[in-house]
A and B are shown apart, each in its own frame.
Chain A
Amino acid sequence: QVVLQQSGAGLLKPSETLSLTCTVYGDSFSTYYWSWIRQPPGKGLEWIGEINRSGGIDYTPSLKSRVTISADRSKSQFSLKMTSVTAADTAVYYCGRRIGSSSPIQWGRGTLVTVSS
């Protein structure tokens, strides 16, 4: 059984940097593509970005200037950083995995990030 364990700060002030990490247990980190999505309270799902097996990264255009996804394969971890957060970035953030040819198989349990002064 693969477990995606999310960690990171849940309360931020405007202009601060969001930093979340997803640690993978139970399978080879190198097998999958790793992604982040988010869901503002009461709203739908938004895809943020993904890092593939080769280290290539894609982001959704609306967030690209503020977001960085990275991976530390030695620790079976991947991370999301988002700079200059505002209240509009308040959301539950999920990490996920997929095999390159398929849709995401699994998401982590989610981290609620609240941006408030």
Chain B
Amino acid sequence: DIQMTQSPSSLSTSVGDRVTITCRASQGIGNDLGWYQQKPGKAPERLIYAASSLQSGVPSRFSGSGSGTEFTLTISSLQPEDFATYYCLQHYSYPHTFGQGTKLQIK
């Protein structure tokens, strides 16, 4: 199985901050990675697909980069509605696997 190591697990941040979340794959996955945002009591919502493509309707402050084994999700200027938990998901091979999640908290 491909392991996805996501860091940090939590982050205390402020509105306006630039935030970077990293996912490392235990083997190369090309660009078969998505990023998801989950708010309490809600289903995950896709932000980024194919590692760097912005989902329609998602604000442009979100961006993704990387390929192979290292990937990043960047939020350029954190907004109040962005305080949530973020997950990466690899779909390169079965079983698909999620990162452990990164919870953004208000400082």
Q: Could you tell me which A residues sit within 8 Å of B by CB distance?
A: 35, 37, 44-47, 49-50, 58-61, 94, 98, 102-110
Kindly identify, within residues 18 to 66 of chain B, every residue whose CB is under 8 Å from any CB belonging to chain A: 32-34, 36, 38, 43-46, 49-50
Known A44-B87, A47-B89, A50-B96: A107·B43 in contact at CB below 8 Å: yes
- Contact of A105 with B87 in the complex, beta carbons under 8 Å: no
Evaluate contact between A45 and B44: CB separation under 8 angstroms. Answer: yes
Q: Which residue among B32, B94, B99 has the maximum number of chain A CB atoms within 10 Å of its CB?
A: B94
Residue of B nearest to A59 (CB): B95
Which residue from B34, B43, B100 sits with its C-beta under 8 Å from A109? B43
- Contact among B32, B46, B49, B101 for A45, CB-based, below 8 A: B101
Residues of B within 8 A of A (CB): 1, 32-34, 36, 38, 43-46, 49-50, 87, 89, 91, 94-101
Inter-chain contact A47/B98, CB cutoff 8 Å:
yes
27 A-B pairs, CB-CB below 8 angstroms? A35-B96, A44-B87, A44-B98, A44-B99, A45-B38, A45-B87, A45-B101, A46-B98, A49-B95, A58-B94, A58-B95, A59-B95, A61-B95, A98-B91, A102-B34, A102-B50, A103-B32, A103-B33, A103-B34, A103-B46, A103-B50, A104-B89, A105-B49, A106-B46, A107-B43, A108-B43, A110-B43
Please pick, from B1, B46, B100, the residue contacting A104 in the complex, using a CB distance under 8 A.
Answer: B46
A98 to chain B: which residues have CB within 8 Å? 91
The CA of A37 and the CA of B33, in the complex, are separated in Å by: 16
The closest CB in chain A to the CB of B32 belongs to A103
**B16 smallest CB distance to A (angstroms):** 28
* Complex: A97 Cα to B1 Cα, angstroms: 22
B-side contacts of A108, CB under 8 Å: 43
Q: Which among B32, B33, B43, B50 has the greatest number of chain A C-beta atoms within 10 A?
A: B43
In the bound assembly, the distance between CA atoms of A44 and B44 in angstroms comes to 11
Query: Are B101 and A44 interface neighbours, CB within 8 A?
Result: yes
Assess whether A44 is in contact with B100, with CB atoms less than 8 Å apart: yes
Q: A102-B50, A103-B34 are in contact. Are A47 and B96 (CB under 8 A)?
A: yes
